[in-house]
């Protein structure tokens, strides 16, 4: 990763990456991680850890998308709520029928424009699905129809409630991590953090290919992204 450099840092790469991984993997606040580091004889302010997450997560995400395995063509899409500075925002997410994460997008609104942005991003990154199952949201329905018209595609639209149980259950893993974070202070940092949480979640789901087949542990796969 030519863009990922640790030059000028007062801490070694292994220390930085481990703390970033802890924050994205477990329900910990920055102050929790500061305290854990103090117990290990390492003093670093929680604000420094926050800067590490914001700085390195987008670069790690770029690398992980290069290694992401192909997903299925039958998608389940839904959105969940995320609070930022006391205001509810919307995290659009989709998984395939095997519960592999397809894509995600944090938005300020829940409307046709936001839904279409999500579909456009997901299709751009993962290819065209054969069908997408959604809830009864008129905005999501209109967004897929607009996409089909604009790009002359024939994505089948389903609205079968029980089929979306898989993505609704998957939301819980994301919400469990965010509950310990004491609330994001800006949309920008929240978006980066959520991308990182989703990235680590994909590693846990074994969606990331690695050249070194001996590396199976999720944390070690994460660290190998910066090799």
Residue 8's pLDDT is: 62
Three-state DSSP at 101 gives strand
Where, residue-wise, is CATH 3.30.420.10 in the chain?
74-174
What is the predicted pLDDT for the residue at 70? Answer: 95
Give the model confidence (pLDDT) of 155-201 as tens digits.
Answer: 999 999 999 999 999 999 998 888 766 567 789 999 999 999 999 99
Question: What pLDDT band is residue 58 in, cutting at 50, 70 and 90?
Answer: very high
Query: Looking at residues 11-34, what average pLDDT do you find?
Result: 91
Residue 88: CB atoms within 10 A of its CB come to 10
CATH assignment of 74-174, given 3.90.1150.10, 1.20.120.1230, 3.30.420.10, 3.30.300.20?
3.30.420.10
Write down the pLDDT at residue 1: 44
Q: Which has the closest alpha carbon to 193: 79, 106, 78?
A: 106
Give tens-digit pLDDT for 119-139: 999 999 999 999 999 998 899
Residue 108 confidence class, pLDDT cut points 50, 70, 90? very high
Neighbours of 165 (CB within 10 A): 11
Note the pTM of the prediction, 2 decimals.
0.90
């Amino acid at each position: 990763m030519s863009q990922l450099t640790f030059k000028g840092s007062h801490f070694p790469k292994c220390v930085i990456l481990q703390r970033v991984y802890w924050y994205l993997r477990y329900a910990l606040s920055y102050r929790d991680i500061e305290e854990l580091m103090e117990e290990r004889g390492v003093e670093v302010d929680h604000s420094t850890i926050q800067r590490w997450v914001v700085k390195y997560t987008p670069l790690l995400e770029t690398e992980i998308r290069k290694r992401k395995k192909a997903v299925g063509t039958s998608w389940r899409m839904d959105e969940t709520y995320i609070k930022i500075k006391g205001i509810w925002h919307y995290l659009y997410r989709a998984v395939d029928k095997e519960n592999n994460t397809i894509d995600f997008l944090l938005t300020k609104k829940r409307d046709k424009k936001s839904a279409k942005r999500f579909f456009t991003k997901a299709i751009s990154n993962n290819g065209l699905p054969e069908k997408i199952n959604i809830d009864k949201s008129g905005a999501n329905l209109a967004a897929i129809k607009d996409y089909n018209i604009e790009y002359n595609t024939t994505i089948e639209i389903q609205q079968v409630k029980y089929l979306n149980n898989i993505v609704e259950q998957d939301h819980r893993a994301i919400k469990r991590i965010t509950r310990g974070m004491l609330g994001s202070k800006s949309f920008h940092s929240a978006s980066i953090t959520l991308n990182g949480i989703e990235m680590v979640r994909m590693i846990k789901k074994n969606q990331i290919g690695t050249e070194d087949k001996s590396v199976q542990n999720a944390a070690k796969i994460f660290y190998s992204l910066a090799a």
